[in-house]
Structure 1
Amino acid sequence: MTAERTQEVQGNAGGGVSEPPGVPGPASATRRQVLAGTGAAVAGIAFTGAFSELFAGTAAARGHSGYGPLVPDPRGLLDLPKGFRYRVLSREGEPLRSGEGPVPSNHDGMTALPGRRGRVHLVRNHENRHNGRIGVPVVDGLTYDPAAKGGCTTLTLDGRNNVLDERVAIAGTAVNCAGGPTPWGTWLTCEETEDKAGTNGYTKDHGFIFEVDGADPRRSGAVPLTAMGRFQHEAIAVDPRSGIVYETEDAFERPFGLFYRFLPEKPLGGTGSLRAGGRLEAMRVPGLPDLSAIQETGACFDGVEWVPVPDPQARQTPIRLQDFGPKGITHAQKLEGCYWGGSSVYFVSSFARSAEGSAADHFGQVWRYEPQRRRLTLVIVFGPATDVQLPGESPDNICLAPGGGLMVAEDGNGAQHVYGVTKRGEVYAMARNRQDIGAPEEPEWGEFAGVTFSPDGGTMYVNCYTPGTTFAVTGPWR
C-alpha cells in the first residue's frame, strides 16, 4: 500500500482556481459546450426545458448553490471545495491486492454496490482496446477472450473507505465503457465495439454486455449476454418493476445508434437470470427518423413503437443497418447516459452535428420515455449559448446525487471537472483534475468518468480516466 493510497487530503481556505493554458477556445465550439465554469462556486448553464424532470423519484433538492470555490490541491491531484477531502483508492500500474497483476489503465464507468457489514463493492470498467496500456490481467474462470485487454476490477471497501481487497472481476472483454447497476445488486458492463473474431487479434466476437457480481465475481463468470445484442453499447437502465433493460448505442458513424429495450425471459431473477435470454427491440418514433430534428422542449410523441431486431447477433450486418421494414427506425447521434427515475427511463444524446450526418445540430438533449403511456418527451435541450472560452464541454458519465441533483463527469478539451447541477438548474464545480498528462507548452488533463455515490450517500467515487485513478470524496454533502 503506497502513501498515495492511504493519505487523505482536505481542501483548505482559498479563492478561485485560476485557469492554466490549454482551456478550449473558439476552435472547440463544434464540440459539446454544455456546462461552463472554472473554479467559481456557481457557473452558468445554457438550456431550456423542465430541469426538474431529471430528478423524478429522487429526494427533493434543498436549493443549494454549490460548495464554494475549488481549493488548489498541494499534491496536484484533485481540487475540491473547502471542507471536502479525497482518498486515492487505486492507481493504474500499482499491484492489485489480489496479486493477480497491476491495476489496469483507462478507468471508466463504475458503480458502488452494497455489501455485507457496511462494506461497499466498487465495480470499475477498464476501457482498454487491443492496444491498451495496461490490460486487465487474464484470470482463469473470469476471462472471455484472452486476446482482449478490457474488463472490470472490483474494490471492496469498509465503512471508512479503507480498501480491503482489489481484484479482477472480469477479463478478456474489450472497450468496457459504461453500463449500469441492476436491482439485484450486480453491474452490467458494456463493450463499446463491434469487432469480430479475427479483428485486432481477437479470438471471439465482441460487442456484448456482461454481468459482474461485485461480491463474488466467479458467481457471474465471463459469459456474454448475447440475447441483449451485439453492438457499440454505452449504458443501460433497468425498470425495477418489470425488469426490462433499456440500452443506448454510441455509434460513431451514420447511420447513428438506436435506443433499445430488452425483455428478459426471467425478469428480476437475480444474478445469472439474464442468461435465460429474451427479446431485443429497437425504438421507432412514427414519423421521426432522427431525434436531433426536434429542438423544442416539451415536444411529445405518443404511440412509440418497439420493433423486433432482425438479428441481435449482427452476424452479417450491424443492427442499426438492418432492415426494420418500410417505416424504418429512429436513430440518434451520441446516445450515451441512461438511467431510471420515477416511472420513466431517461437517456441522453450528448450532441448532434449536421456536418456529420445528423438532421440538425444540438449541444445535448435529455429524453424521457414513459413505458406505461408509450410516450417520448424531449425534456432538456442544452446550449449553444455557453461561453466557448471556458471549460465545461462533453459531459460523459452522469449520476443522480443523493441530495436530489446531478453529478456530471466532464470529457472534453482543456481543464476537466466534475460538475454538480442543482434542481434549480445551477451548475457548480465539484472537483477538478490536476494531473497534467500533456507537455509544458501544451497541458492536458484526463477526463473524469464513473462518478457514483456510496449506498449511504456519504461518499462520491469518481475515476480519472488517465492516468487511471480512483478517488473517494467525502465532506459536508447536503
Structure 2
Amino acid sequence: MDRRTVLRATVAGGAAFAGSLWAGAALAAPAQPGPGPYGDLLAADANGIQLPAGFTSRVIARAGQVVPGTGYLWHFAPDGGACFPAGDGWIYVSNSEIPLVGGASAVRFRADGSIAAAYRILGGTNVNCAGGATPWGTWLSCEEVPLGRVFETWPDGSRSAEERTRMGRFTHEAAACDPDRRVVYLTEDEGDGCFYRFVPDTWGDLRTGRLQVLCAPADVTSGPVTWRDIPDRDGFPIPTRWQVGAARHFDGGEGCWYDRGTCWFTTKGDNRVWAYDAVNQRIDLAYDDSLVPVGTAPLTGVDNITGTPGGDLYVAEDGGNMEICVITPTGVVAPFLRILNQGGSEITGPAFFPDGTRLYFSSQRGTSGERTGSGGLTYEVRGPFRR
C-alpha cells in the first residue's frame, strides 16, 4: 500500500485537521484544491509572471547586477527573506545560498516604493538558506549545512551580525518566533530532520537558552506531542536529530511561520504543510499532496511559507510548476502566481510588506537554472491582497 492510500485511510479513520488552528474555521481534513480567492491566473506579464486580475509585478534586483538606484551588486542565489518597517519606508532582507560567502543583503525602500539603498548585512557564512524575523526587528539567517549556525542580523545595517550558537548546530532551514510562549521554532533540512524550539533564558536575547526537539511516535500525522531538551546542542559527534530517541523525524524541513498560536512548517520530501498547535501541543496536517485526487495537486515542491493577518498562507514551490500557492482559512489551496520559463529554478523568500499590500520573493536561479544562482531574480508583486 503506497503513502497516498495509507494517508487517505488515516484521515478517514479520524486523523482530521484541527479546525481550531484557523480562527473561526471548522475544517474536517487537510486543504483541497478549489477556486482561489483572486480568480484565475491571467496571461504572463512582461516579467514572465502569471497573476490574477488587479496584480502587477516588477523586478527589484538581479543576481550579479547593480540594484537599480544604488551602487550595490545583488548577491547570487537569493533565498529566504523578510520585510521590516524602516522610518517612513521599509526594508526587504534576502539570504544568499552560496557556499562559504553566503550571507545576506538588504534593499531599503522609500515611502513611495522607490529604492533608496542596498547593502550587505552578513558575509562570510555558508549556504544561508532561510531564516526568520524576530519581534524586536532583527533577521535570523540560517546556514543549511551540517553543523550550520544561526546568525542574528540587523536589517538597517546599524550593527554587525552576531552568531547564536546556543540555537543549535545542525542543517538549519527556517525560524519562526512565538512571542506568546517566548520560543523560536526551527526546521531542519534533512531527510530525517527534526522540528526544534529554542527557549531563551530571556525573551529578546538569543545568546543563552535551551534547545528542545518535538517528540511523538514515528509517522504520526495528527495528535499530541511533547518537547525534550537536546543534550548537546553543538551536534558533534552525534547530530542533534539523533540524540533523543523519542524525537519525531520529518522528511526535509523547510519553511516556518507562526501566527496566533499555530506554527506552520513545511516538509519538501513528502509535500506537506504541518500545523503545530502551540496552545494544545499537537500536530496536524494542513496540506498533503497525497490526500489530493491524483493529478490535481496544485501545490508540489513545498518549500518556503509566509502568511497574512487574515489567515491566508502563501507557500512557494521548489520546482513544481514554479508557483506560489495560497491556502485559505477555509481549507482551499490554489495557485496565486506562476513564473514561466524558469523550470530549473525555485521560488524563495516570500514575505509581505508590513501593510500587506506588497509581496516580495525571488527565483533563485532564474531562467539560467545555474546552481550558482547567477541568474537569480528578486521580485515585488502589488495588488489587492486580502488582509
Which TM-score applies when normalising by structure 2? 0.83
Tell me which of 297, 302, 309 is aligned to 2:230. Answer: 309
Cα–Cα, structure 1 residues 85 and 93, in superposed 2: closer, same or farther, change >3 Å? same
Q: Which amino acid aligns with 1:446?
A: S
1:184, 1:120 → 2: CA distance? 15
Cα–Cα, structure 1 residues 155 and 300, in superposed 2: closer, same or farther, change >3 Å? same
- Greater strand fraction, Structure 1 or Structure 2: 2
Cα–Cα, structure 1 residues 98 and 159, in superposed 2: closer, same or farther, change >3 Å? closer
Cα–Cα, structure 1 residues 402 and 261, in superposed 2: closer, same or farther, change >3 Å? closer
Deviation at 1:265, TM superposition (A): 2.0
Tell me which of 244, 259, 275 is aligned to 1:341. Answer: 259
Tell me which of 221, 242, 251 is aligned to 1:321. Answer: 242
Cα–Cα, structure 1 residues 376 and 403, in superposed 2: closer, same or farther, change >3 Å? closer
Unmatched segments (≥5 aa) in structure 1: 1-28, 32-47, 130-147, 195-205, 353-362, 438-443
Contact 1:161 1:472 in 2 (8 A): no
Matching residue of 1:15: none
Unmatched segments (≥5 aa) in structure 2: 5-14, 26-33, 367-375
Matching residue of 1:134: none
Matching residue of 2:384: 476
Could you give the per-residue CA deviations for residues 50-89 of structure 1, whole angstroms, max 9, x where no partner exists? 475554499xxxx984323323235243222222111211
* 2:20 is equivalent to residue 66 of structure 1: no
Contact 1:345 1:369 in 2 (8 A): yes
Cα–Cα, structure 1 residues 280 and 294, in superposed 2: closer, same or farther, change >3 Å? closer
* 2:182 is equivalent to residue 243 of structure 1: yes
Deviation at 1:94, TM superposition (A): 0.8
Q: How many residues are paired up?
A: 356
Which TM-score applies when normalising by structure 1? 0.68
Deviation at 1:122, TM superposition (A): 0.5
Matching residue of 1:114: 85
Tell me which of 198, 203, 211 is aligned to 1:262. Answer: 198
Cα–Cα, structure 1 residues 237 and 91, in superposed 2: closer, same or farther, change >3 Å? same
Cα–Cα, structure 1 residues 264 and 240, in superposed 2: closer, same or farther, change >3 Å? same
Tell me which of 150, 160, 177 is aligned to 2:112. Answer: 160
Contact 1:249 1:336 in 2 (8 A): yes
Matching residue of 1:39: none
Tell me which of 288, 305, 312 is aligned to 1:405. Answer: 312
More relative contact order in 1 or in 2 (CA 8 Å, sep 6+)? 1
1:387, 1:160 → 2: CA distance? 45
Contact 2:305 2:314 in 1 (8 A): yes
Matching residue of 1:419: 325
Rg comparison, structure with higher value: 1
Structure 2 matches for 1:38-77, cutoff 5 A? 49-50=16-17, 55-56=22-23, 65-77=36-48
Could you give the per-residue CA deviations for residues 15-46 of structure 1, whole angstroms, max 9, x where no partner exists? xxxxxxxxxxxxxx999xxxxxxxxxxxxxxx
2:124 is paired with a residue of what secondary structure?
strand
Identity %: 33
Contact 2:198 2:212 in 1 (8 A): yes
Q: Which amino acid aligns with 1:230?
A: R
Deviation at 1:108, TM superposition (A): 1.1
Cα RMSD after superposing both structures: 2.8
Deviation at 1:425, TM superposition (A): 2.4
Deviation at 1:390, TM superposition (A): 7.3
Tell me which of 153, 166, 171 is aligned to 1:212. Answer: 153
Tell me which of 358, 361, 367 is aligned to 1:459. Answer: 358
Tell me which of 331, 347, 350 is aligned to 1:448. Answer: 347
* 2:121 is equivalent to residue 169 of structure 1: yes
